[in-house]
A and B are shown apart, each in its own frame.
Chain A
Amino acid sequence: MAKERRLLTFSISAVTFILLEVAALAMLNRSGDLQHMWIARTGYRFRTAAWSSSETVRNYFMLHGANEELAAENMVLNEELLRLRHQLRVNKADSASVPVPVSNGFRNIPAMVCKISRNSQHNYIILDKGSEDGVVPQSGIVTANGVVGIIDAVDRHFSYGISFMNTNMSVSARIGGEGAVGPLSWDGAGSRGAVLKQIPLQYHYSPGDTIWTSGHSQLYPADIPLGIAGDSKVVNGSVNEISVQLFEDFRSLRYVTIVCSEYAEEIDYLENLEENHE
């Protein structure tokens, strides 16, 4: 009871104080020119700060939409970039041919990362796109900074992928524009370290060369930059093993692109045909 009474007394005092101070400010505002300008200026500052804060909060809540728009735009640009790189390679291989737009053979689906593990030797990734969005198993997961993983299982609305940070996974990679090709796999230590294996000794490279996807598998398009070549060591006296610093930062991964091969069925058919012949 005493507590309630104290609260009531305090409330009445606070209201009286505010009313009297507002009345005093109103009189001050009317009677002094300098004070009028000062109060107006303080009011403007307060309003500007309030608007600025509310705008910051509004922008923060709009970031999700903006990110999705940027991811979609990024996907279109990546697609265009890969198509042009592919066309460039075709033109370079046959300089006499007439340049025609050709597809790189992959269909792109933008997706958002729902969950990604980074702390084990067999990391996985879950994406927010599934079979209803056209995702099929054995599709690649990429970003503009490299390979993220491979789709392993697909549900209606989600898909489960094996992360590149998984000791069971490797990607066919190439050193520089025309260099040797070998399997690139995670080094199992850091989130940005990888090892490019089985590079014949006669192939020379320089530390700092860019590592690209080779395009030799039906999982990933060619010419996606993966990382920078570092030091190398000779293994078994016959091949080089090159350490690679990946471009992809798995700690800040949010948006990815799922790449589905358009010719996967044809290639599978040919492979099965060959197996049946054997």
Chain B
Amino acid sequence: MTRSKMWALAGAAGALALVLSACTGSATPGDTAGGAGQKIKIGIKFDQPGLGLQEGNTFTGFDVEVAKFVAGEMGYAANQIEFVESQSAQRETMIQAEQVKLIFATYSITDSRKEKVSFGGPYFIAGQDLLVRADDTSITGPATLEGKRLCSVTGSTPAQKIKADYPGVELVEYGTYSMCVSALESNGVDAVTTDNVILAGFAAQPQYAGKLRVIGEPFTEERYGVGLKKGDIETCTKVNDAITKMVETGAWKKALADTVGKSGFEPDDRNPPTPDACS
């Protein structure tokens, strides 16, 4: 290899890097223009069965159904919706950076989050619950977990909550809920804890049919809202009107039954909720 060739090669490698980074960079800026004829970017979870799950090339789940309905009411056809993955740690930032217009991703309304974003909804009231094996009758609630193995995601709040209230519980932490549920199936742990509707999403999957059961005694209140830009009352109002309409027409109930409901999961009497006033 001659010297000039060597430098040419090095230059080519550098140029390739630039091109590649430019390609990925161009996907970053958010297209937030609303209205008909344009696309709307909506943040959802990609790995939460029953709520927001990438199933091959499509997305399924209750969050996805509500998102589609709301976007439809706002004048977007199904093919104008672009779903973007919004990981838990990044939800506020993605809205602030206008990378997505709305977020439907098991997004609990809290005061600290309200400092950075505004919320439409809530469209569902979830609560922390327990998932156990269907034939295990020894666990009926958090108080019966003494000496049992409880799985949750590393560093997550549901796990910390149980640990603080019931020190006799043996906490097992894995990186994802799929690992926890898989461990539950093979008797590695005795229960999995997080929001009831997330647990129901796993129980509703065909491979776990009849094997797992949500206890059905939620002991916290998590109000799932629609994340949107702080102070955007116009969008918030549209979202709330759409949710109200979805509940009134029965589409809300049907969407729930078609997704997480397949596990036999019934929403408790806090549902369907009435959206908060926009502010």
Please indicate whether A and B come from the same complex rather than being unrelated chains. no
> Which residues of B come within 8 Å of A, CB atoms?
none
> Which residues of A come within 8 Å of B, CB atoms?
none
